[in-house]
Structure 1
Amino acid sequence: MRSEDLDLKAQSLYEHLAELRKRIINCALILFIGTAICYNFSEQIFNFVRQPIVPYLPGGGLIFTGPLDKFIAHLKLSFVGGIILSCPFWLYQVWMFVAPGLYQKERKYTMGFIMAGTVLFLLGSGFSYFIALPMAFHFLMTFGGDIDKPMISIDQYMGFFTQMCLMFGVAFELPLVIVVLGMMGIVSQAFLRKNRRYAIMTIAVIAAIITPPDLLSMVMMLTPMWILFEGAVLVVGIFEKNRDQSFNEIE
């Protein structure tokens, strides 16, 4: 390989790393601003977040054993709220990093990518709060009878809540990731259909990992992710059809 080609490749790699660094810094600033905004409303957010477990707490509230526990819990909650609040803005940064690898006609879908990503992330978080968490607490808090009384700490609950909320939000981004990979030509509709069984198996494993240890919760997670996957397969096919038509017009 010629030294000129090596220099071009090294320059291209450097440019990609520089762009990645820029987008990561922008995302960090965006999340910081979102966290700061949510911290001003952390008390109201905390009351909202506490609701799914309140029916199972004898005193109606969580406990804390350390002087910093409640403060740290509010910081964690503000950070999660900042991620959700700033979702359209950090998704824009992700799109700007990915867009150079797309065709010129496909780069116009910026707003569609941001809106779809935001809606999917909110759907995942909402699904966790309104469906998955109530089901999980009903199973976990009533398991083994009602003689024993729960004493849940703020730290334990915040860890469980934030993990569920963020993992469901990220998991619901699966179709958007598949569509972008299809737009970049990495996967095709034929490939996705051929490997559907492996995709469903992978989704089932993910659902089993991120949901509480009961079959109903796993099925409730698996079903929407499967539907979203099938929708992504259809959208990838639409982009492929439009791309083929564009090539035919050019020829």
Structure 2
Amino acid sequence: MNREELDSKAQSLYEHLAELRTRLIYSVYILLIATGICYGFSDHIFNFVRAPIAPHLPGGGLIYTGPLDKFMAHIKLSFVFGVIISCPFWLYQVWKFVAPGLYQRERRYTFGFIFAGTGLFLLGAAFSYFIALPMAFNFLMHFGGDVDKPMISIDQYLGFFTQMCLMFGAAFELPLIIVILGMMGIVSQSFLRKNRRYAVMTLAVISAIITPPDLLSMVMMLAPMWVLFEASVVIVGIFERKREEAFAVNERE
């Protein structure tokens, strides 16, 4: 490899890092603005977040042991919900970073990428809030009998709640990630089918790590992720066929 090729590769790497830095800065600005907006509604957000565990608590309230605990809880919740409501905007920054690696015709899917990414993230968070969390609390709060009474601190609960909602939201982005990798030519439908069992095994391990330590929560995480993986295999195949058809048309022309 000669000097010019090395300089070209170094310049290309520098440009990618500079672009990544720009997108990260924009994303931080977006998150700060969204967090500030959510802080203005933090009381309503806190009541909404408390709802899944409230039926299992004496008096329906959480406890806190430090003077700053409740204030910091509102800050944390504002940030988490800032991430959620700003999802279309930081997904746009992700798309702007990966778009140069795609074909020109594939860059037209900007709106579809943002819409799908936002919908999948919100779907994952909603699945966690309305299905996974209530089922987890029904199991965990009644495990070992009803003699012992739960006294859950705000900090412990918010850590658990945030982890569940964000992890489910991120996990539901799986098909979008796989489709983008397929569009970039990194994975193919045949590759995904050939390695299906390894993918399912990996999903099972991820589900076991990010969910509460009970089989039900793990299955509740694994089942939709498996379905989304199978859907992504089909979608990658559709894009491959479209690419082959477009290539055939260009060859004839």
TM-score between both structures, scaled by the size of structure 2: 0.98
Aligned to 1:5: 5
Q: Does 1:117 align with 2:120?
A: no
- The letter for the 1-side match of 2:68 is L
The Cα RMSD (Å) is: 0.6
Mapping of 1:60-75 within 5 angstroms? 60-75=60-75
Cα distance in 1 for partners of 2:133, 2:210 equals: 11
The aligned counterpart of 2:172 is 172
Offset from partner CA, 1:180-210 (integer Å, 9 cap, x none)? 0000000000000000000011111111111
Tell me the SS of whatever aligns to 2:141.
Answer: helix
Match of 1:144 in 2: 144
CA positional deviation for 1:59 = 1.7
CA distance in 1, matches of 2:4, 2:213: 57
Deviations 1:151-178 (A, max 9, x none): 1110111111001110010000011000
Q: Partners of 1:63 and 1:218 in 2: how far apart?
A: 28
Q: Distance in 2 between matches of 1:211 and 1:66?
A: 28
The amino acid of 1:126's aligned partner reads A
Partner of 1:199: 199
Equivalent position of 1:245 in the other structure? 245
Q: Kindly tell me the number of residue pairs found equivalent between the two proteins.
A: 251
Question: Displacement, 1:222?
Answer: 1.1
Letter in 1 for 2:182: G
Rounded Cα–Cα distance in structure 2 between residues aligned with 1:119 and 1:182: 20
Q: Counterparts of 2:208 and 2:131 in 1: how far apart (Å)? A: 16
Residue 227 of structure 1 aligns with an amino acid whose one-letter code is V
Q: Who is 2:59 aligned against?
A: 59
TM-score, scaled to structure 1:
0.99
The residue matched to 2:60 in structure 1 has which SS? coil
Deviation at 1:220, TM superposition (A): 1.6
Determine if the alignment matches structure 1 residue 156 to structure 2 residue 156: yes
Stretches of structure 1 lacking an aligned partner (at least 5 in a row): none
Q: Deviations over 1:67-108 (max 9, x none)?
A: 000000000000000000000000000000000000000000
